[in-house]
Amino acid sequence: MYVTRPLSLYRRDPSAASLPPPEGPNSGVLVIQDEEAQPTCLFGLMNSSRVTDLPFPQNKNLQVRYTKRTGEHRRVETHRVVFVPVLGRPLSANRYYVIKIQAGWNA
């Protein structure tokens, strides 16, 4: 079972990520990006869609890029994914299930 917590809680107090998950078997924390934790750019004038720090919010579809180099050739793969924290671990463990989003699906 998951409980939800705002991302701004972990931005204000990073040590909160090391707290154990709620009591009970198979429990964990889902992090929701709230308005206070919305990243900005251009000196805070515009909202940004980039996520650069852990923990990852679970209410956002994210893009991951993988670059593979072979000699002079470079190949970049981009995938839309959702990161879901592993049950029974604190967020500071940085353990996630990565679910690839199928084309045409929006959350």
Domain ranges of the chain: 2-100
Neighbouring C-beta atoms of residue 78, cutoff 10 Å: 8
Q: Distance (Å, rounded) from C-alpha 54 to C-alpha 52? A: 7
Backbone dihedral angles phi then psi of residue 15, each to the nearest 5 degrees: -70, -15
pTM here is: 0.70
For the segment 40-67, the average pLDDT, to the nearest whole number, is 73
To which residue do tokens 């707290």 refer? Answer: 19
pLDDT of residue 41: 58
pLDDT of residue 54 exceeding 80 = no
The answer to whether the beta carbons of residues 81 and 75 sit under 8 Å apart is no
